[in-house]
């Protein structure tokens, strides 16, 4: 277990913003994780577990212990026409997808290049190009931070929803995901439900061809966090009622929607773009000029720059379309998880 005090978190989250934490622990084993939570010196300090830091924004210096999940390991078994993978929580997700294809194991190719680690994937129920984590999940194992026991949940028990799970709700702050179990059919069936894949399906005859096409699409649409700091899609695609959708489409005929449970999902990026906000900048934070759904750190942005820009975007969309955007990026204050609404409610008091 590697421990350092007063650490700049800039290298540990993809926004690349200068923000310190009091203690940084790099945990390579489950025993390291348990030691971090049993340490008498840190007993009363708030704790936050990070993987690759690809979906977080520190809104201020973190006065507690940041634990980096560095658990590694991959195993593969085959039975009953399925391939089962057990993946340690600290494994890099994009590298995992590429590794499975190198091993001749298809099924993850639609989820290529999603930044983050395996342990973060269930929290957000990551998804792209017609596939979500819930579709390939067999189970999730976690360290219970009260009992310090390892507990396994089935995919059904994880209560997956759109960018949602039990880990963002009932188990928020109470567990650390130590490993995931994936279940992939031995007989590969491509998923071409997403438009750009469907239009090219005659050419995408192998899992690797799908993988390369998804990578090309993502690279053309999304900025590389290794080059320009960002946390990927900043806002969730909102789900609105059918009635609301019909009203908006009557006013904006080029608005597209997709039937989902609970209503119609529309593209947050489309809403932001039609508000004329591509390239809009506050301080060092900018709405990406090509992809309106992404906020980027273009010039040594502060956390406040990002917050101010996100608030501006949220209200521009609300004023024009009457649609409430919810941020997908997770916000952390000095001691706990927070939200854009809480931050600005406090400011306006």
Q: What is the pLDDT of residues 248-288, one digit of tens each?
A: 999 999 999 988 888 999 999 999 999 999 999 999 999 99
Say whether both 256 and 168 belong to one domain. Answer: no
Supply the pTM of this predicted model. Answer: 0.87
Say whether both 84 and 217 belong to one domain. Answer: yes
Query: Which of 221, 256, 284 marks a domain boundary?
Result: 221
Specify whether 163 is catalytic: yes
Answer left, alpha or beta for residue 273, where phi above 0 means left and psi between -120 and 50 means alpha.
alpha
Say whether both 22 and 37 belong to one domain. Answer: yes
Helix/strand/coil for 135: helix
Express each pLDDT in 81-102 by its tens digit. 999 999 999 999 999 999 999 9
- Supply the range of the domain harboring residue 165: 74-221
Say whether both 244 and 321 belong to one domain. Answer: yes
Q: Which residues of the chain have pLDDT under 50?
A: none
Specify whether 339 is catalytic: no
Specify whether 218 is catalytic: no
Q: Which of 233, 274, 303, 330 is catalytic?
A: 233
Say whether both 215 and 80 belong to one domain. Answer: yes
Query: Which of 221, 237, 257 marks a domain boundary?
Result: 221
Say whether both 343 and 248 belong to one domain. Answer: yes
Listed residue (331, 344, 342, 346) closest to 60, CA to CA = 331
Query: Which of 69, 94, 114 marks a domain boundary?
Result: 69
**How far is residue 118's CA from residue 93's CA, in Å, rounded to a whole number?**
5
Q: Which of 212, 308, 326, 328 is catalytic?
A: 328
């Amino acid at each position: 277990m590697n421990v350092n005090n007063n650490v700049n978190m800039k290298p540990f989250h993809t926004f690349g913003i200068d923000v310190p934490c009091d203690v940084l622990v790099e945990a390579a084993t489950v025993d390291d994780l348990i030691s971090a939570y049993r340490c008498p010196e840190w007993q009363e300090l708030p704790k936050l577990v990070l993987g690759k830091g690809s979906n977080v924004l520190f809104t201020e210096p973190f006065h507690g212990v940041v634990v980096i999940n560095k658990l590694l390991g991959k195993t593969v078994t085959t039975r009953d026409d399925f391939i089962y993978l057990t993946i340690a929580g600290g494994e890099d997700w994009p590298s995992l997808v590429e590794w499975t294809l190198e091993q001749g194991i298809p099924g993850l190719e639609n989820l290529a290049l999603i930044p983050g680690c395996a342990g973060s994937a269930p929290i957000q129920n990551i998804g792209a190009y017609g596939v979500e984590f819930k579709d390939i999940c067999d189970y999730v194992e976690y360290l219970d931070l009260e009992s310090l026991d390892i507990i396994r949940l089935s995919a059904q028990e994880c209560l997956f929803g759109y960018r949602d799970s039990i880990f963002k709700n009932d188990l928020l702050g109470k567990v650390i995901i130590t490993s995931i179990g994936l279940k992939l059919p031995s007989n590969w069936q491509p998923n071409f439900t997403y438009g750009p894949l469907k239009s090219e399906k005659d050419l995408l005859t192998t899992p690797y061809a799908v993988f390369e096409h998804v990578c090309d699409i993502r690279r053309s649409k999304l900025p590389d966090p290794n080059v320009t700091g960002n946390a990927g899609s900043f806002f969730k695609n909102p789900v609105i009622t059918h009635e609301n959708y019909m009203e908006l489409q009557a006013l904006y005929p080029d608005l597209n929607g997709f039937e989902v449970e609970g209503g119609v999902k529309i593209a947050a990026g489309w809403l932001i773009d039609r508000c004329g906000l591509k390239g809009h900048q506050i301080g060092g934070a900018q709405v990406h000029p090509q992809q309106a759904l992404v906020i980027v750190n273009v010039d040594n942005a502060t956390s406040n720059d990002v917050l101010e820009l996100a608030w501006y975007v949220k209200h521009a969309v609300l004023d024009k379309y009457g649609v409430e955007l919810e941020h997908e990026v997770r916000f952390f204050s000095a001691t706990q998880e927070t939200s854009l609404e809480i931050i600005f409610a406090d400011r306006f008091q």
